[in-house]
């Protein structure tokens, strides 16, 4: 009943079978349909488009980070809700300047692995990293 997200690859444990998220592709449970499943490909595309629209051509500017993170999470949430799928969404965004500093993140969830899901996208340009996480909880 719990899933864990560490780094880029996310293990999903469903009915004693293991599905691994690699290259933004998730194998769906045979009992889920496209309309009720958390489809990582769709979510990943929304995240990438939102990040590109908000910060794609910009260099890191400390005074704009709050604005950019707000735009990214609000755009993601808006586009996710337009999918019309039966989920509550949680969206997080981290923007970090590329300056040689390290960053370690981890999260864990107590959820239903057969219906809930998550997607993490790491985007970068010459001056910054942007890490966006979306959790989808079935309703």
Percent of the chain residues topping a pLDDT of 90: 66
Residues sharing a CB contact under 8 Å with residue 74, sequence separation 6 or more, in sequence order: none
CA distances from 90 to 61, 78, 116, 127 (A): 26, 12, 12, 27
Cα 53 to Cα 68: distance, rounded to the nearest angstrom? 10
The model's pTM? 0.75
pLDDT digits (tens, 9 = 90+) for 78-112: 999 999 999 999 999 999 999 999 998 888 899 99
Give yes or no for residue 23 having a pLDDT over 60: no
Cα–Cα nearest to 3, from 101, 90, 113: 113
Phi, psi of 114 (to 5 degrees): -80, -15
* Residue 31 pLDDT level (bands cut at 50, 70, 90): low
Q: What is the pLDDT of residues 7-19, one digit of tens each?
A: 444 333 332 233 3
Residue 25 has pLDDT above 60, yes or no: no
């Amino acid at each position: 009943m719990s899933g864990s997200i560490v780094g880029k690859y996310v293990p999903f444990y469903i009915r004693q079978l293991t599905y691994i998220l690699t290259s933004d592709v998730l194998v769906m449970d045979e009992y889920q349909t496209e309309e009720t499943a958390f489809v990582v490909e769709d979510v990943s595309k929304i995240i990438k488009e939102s990040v590109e629209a908000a910060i794609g051509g910009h260099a890191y500017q400390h005074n704009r980070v709050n604005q950019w993170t707000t735009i990214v999470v609000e755009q993601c949430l808006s586009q996710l809700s337009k999918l019309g799928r039966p989920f509550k969404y949680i969206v997080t965004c981290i923007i970090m300047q590329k300056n040689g500093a390290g960053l370690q993140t981890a999260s864990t969830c107590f959820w239903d692995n057969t219906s809930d899901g998550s997607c993490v996208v790491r985007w970068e340009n010459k001056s910054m990293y942007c890490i966006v996480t979306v959790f989808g909880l079935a309703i």
